[in-house]
Amino acid sequence: MKIRPSSEKFGTLFLLVALFFSLLSSYTSAEESEDQGEQAFSEARFRISVADFDGAVKSLQLALRCDFVNKKYAAELKSVREIIKLREEIEQEKDSHRWSVLAQHLRTYYKKNGVRDGLVDIGLQIFDRSKLTWDAVGVINAMIAAERFDDALDFADSVDDKGINPSIRIAKGCVLYSAGQNSEARKQARSISMDDLQTPDDLLRLARLQAATELYASSVKTLVRCFEQTPRNSLSEFKEYVVKVPEFEPLLTSSEFAEALTTQSKQESIDRSCSQKWVGVVFDQRPKYIRDLSKGPVNPDDWKVK
């Protein structure tokens, strides 16, 4: 039997040890690279939230250099570049209808990605052109989300200086409640009659404000009216939504609330392609029931703020 020289054995052992440490180093480097990629991605998300989209692009490019096969990073980079292009198009667009469509897309992106001040800015631009009550409410909601409560109160007073627009008055009550002025919010809620409201949107918003300010009996009565005004083919879905609303949680075990849920609609069914849609906006930074304007207005005669 031929015995291998000890030097050859040591050489083989050295190569195996070197290979082991090389693989370990590569694995460690890959982990460090992934961590750096996640850090860069988190930085990009922050930059998006403050509307620093150029900075977000740089952070996402760094994230992709750390992990070039990461689909999440690539998709986010594509999305941010599209938003940069969209913002440029909005600034240059002259056609009022196309501008409105582009602005709604941008507002949707801001809302989804928590670009709070950007949501206020684009909301103000939309309202400046439309002068619609619902767009004014959208601005107030955006200001609540950005915790700009004084700005929200000033804006509400500027568009309804005589205090005669019930939709704006409800929104003002939401501002007061979100700002922690509960007694003032309760006074505001008490001053609004559901007889002045014509849409399920406003009736639900009033019911939520009443429940938030512990006006529970009034809230249940308003909910009954809201159910009666909801289109018949939307009522079941709407009730499923209502029982998940945070403001109504104290009412869930009450017999009055259970009875309210048996209320039937007094309205005809409508075409769902142009009906109301429940989407997330802010009520004390929680979901609210609003109209999805991309689907067309529920009431074509929605009056403008005077």
How do residues 242-299 score in pLDDT, each as one tens digit? Answer: 999 999 999 999 999 999 999 999 999 887 654 444 333 333 333 333 333 343 333 3
Does residue 32 lie within any of the structural domains?
yes
- Give dist(CA 159, CA 250) in Å, integer: 34
C-alpha to C-alpha distance for 302 and 107, rounded to whole angstroms: 20
| The pair of three-digit structure tokens given for residue 196, joined into one six-digit string | 């002045």
Q: Give a yes or no: residue 75 inside a domain.
A: yes
Give a yes or no: residue 72 inside a domain. Answer: yes
pLDDT of the residue at 12? 63
pLDDT of residue 242: 96
CA 265 to chain centre: 29
pLDDT tens digits, residue range 198-209? 899 999 999 999
Residue 217, CA distances (Å) to 80, 135, 207, 259 in order = 47, 30, 10, 12
Residue 19 lies in a domain: yes
Q: How many domains is the chain partitioned into structurally?
A: 1
Domain hosting 67: range is 15-92
Instruction: Say which CATH number the domain at 81 has.
Output: 1.25.40
pTM, 2 dp: 0.77
Q: Encode pLDDT of 10-32 as tens digits.
A: 556 656 555 555 544 544 454 55
Q: Report how far residue 142's alpha carbon sits from residue 116's, in angstroms, rounded to the nearest whole number.
A: 7
In this predicted model, which residue has the larger pLDDT, 78 or 305? Answer: 78
Q: 50-65, pLDDT tens digit by residue?
A: 999 999 999 999 999 9
Residue 287 lies inside a defined structural domain of this protein? no
pLDDT of res. 286: 33
> Which helix (H) or strand (E) covers residue 155, if one does?
helix 149-159
Is 60 part of a structural domain of the chain?
Answer: yes
pLDDT one-digit tens code per residue, 136-163: 999 999 999 999 999 999 999 999 988 8
Q: 166 in a domain, yes or no? A: no
Q: Angle, to 10 degrees, between the axis of helix 96-113 and the axis of helix 71-92?
A: 150
In a domain, 48, yes or no: yes
Pair 176, 170: CB distance under 8 Å? no
